[in-house]
Amino acid sequence: MRFKDVIGQDEIKSKLVQAYKENRVSHSYLFYGIPGIGKMALAIAFAQYLSCENKEENDSCGVCPSCLKYQKLVHPDLHFVFPYITQGSQNKATSDTYIDLWRPMVNKSPYFSYRDWTNNLQSENKQCMIYAAESESIIKKISLKTYESDYKVMIIWLPEKMNTECANKILKILEEPPLNTVFLLVSNNREDILPTIQSRTQPIKVLGIADEPLKQALVEKYGISGEEANDVVKISNGSFLEARQQLEHDEENEFNFENFISLMRLCYSKNIADTLEFAKNISKLSRERQKSFLNYCLIMVRENFAFNANRNTAYLTREEENFSEKFARFINERNANDFMTILNTAYYQIERNGNSEIIFADTAFNIMRIIRK
């Protein structure tokens, strides 16, 4: 992965290259922002640039032995840490246990979601974490001398999934790693990372991809017209992942949209019996799909509130916009915050393995109270 392969994000690329040229490379960075905007791509491209044996002016060469190994993610001085599952005899598992599943997914595209990874692990009904056993592996790898490169790089994907015991054990080495060791943390939810981890990193906020480079990437990858690409860019919120899902007619988006409509209609009509049946059916889904649905509801509430103020500022598909023509008036300044609080609370409870049928029933009843405000 070279910097030129990262969609947009030119300002961050320039700052990273400049930090190297001025000998100001930090021992730890935290790339944070919403999924699908290129945080992992930036981390890998920067790691490859640091190790490149024949650097160009603003990028790695892509052809030296180091770059060729980086392109396959097999460089001996590149290490990955990511959430995983443990069960039975695997209670001492680490990221290395699943590296043969990880590399092909990242090589296919560095623009992937947590859901993509859990699907790969076939672990939708289990919470993936970075466990205490990982800390021993991290310390051991970082303590060894580099094999080939001037730099040893450890990329930690979703440090917010690191349990407290693991986080506490790596604090010292994260703060004072060996010379020319660089930690690159890639986070979707910075606020969920332990403050002691955050304080030991240099934060880099990654914003959504600018419209023009995102449009160009979609045209090149999918062969669509500029007009079609513009429509997708409008609703993607700067995320290549969101844009890809729209173009590939993601079935989950359609499922979430249909169920959002059903939930809102049930809440408006105060149909208790059917609402309980709805909660029962949703509770049969995996935890990750339940969270995906709640996240979609949060997005729809936000965009319908924006639609009320100025329809041109809302990121909605044509189908969603048609629905919002009549629905948006029910999301207003009197109840928008209540909507967000109710849905965020449900997401929090689902993430912590609460009884999903009760949670969705309670969520629906709370929405019934506010939807007519």
Q: What is the per-residue pLDDT for 203?
A: 96
| pLDDT greater than 90 at residue 279 | yes
**366 vs 254, more confident:** 366
What average pLDDT score do residues 75-85 get?
A: 94
Select the more confidently predicted residue: 260 or 121. Answer: 260
Which tens digit of pLDDT belongs to each residue from 289-339?
Answer: 898 899 889 989 998 998 888 877 777 877 888 999 999 999 999 999 999
Q: Tell me which residue of 102, 48, 55 sits closest to 75, measured CA to CA.
A: 48
Q: Is the pLDDT of residue 91 over 80?
A: no
pLDDT tens per residue, range 96-110:
999 999 999 999 999
pLDDT at 47 over 90: yes
Bridge partner list, 204: 31
pLDDT in tens, 138-188: 999 998 888 889 899 999 999 999 989 999 999 999 989 998 999 999 999
The predicted model scores a pTM of 0.77
Give the per-residue pLDDT at 123.
65
pLDDT in tens, 238-273: 999 888 877 776 677 889 999 999 999 999 999 999
Q: Which domains does the chain have, with CATH numbers?
A: 3-205 (3.40.50.300), 249-370 (1.20.272)
Query: What average pLDDT does this structure show over 115-137?
Result: 83
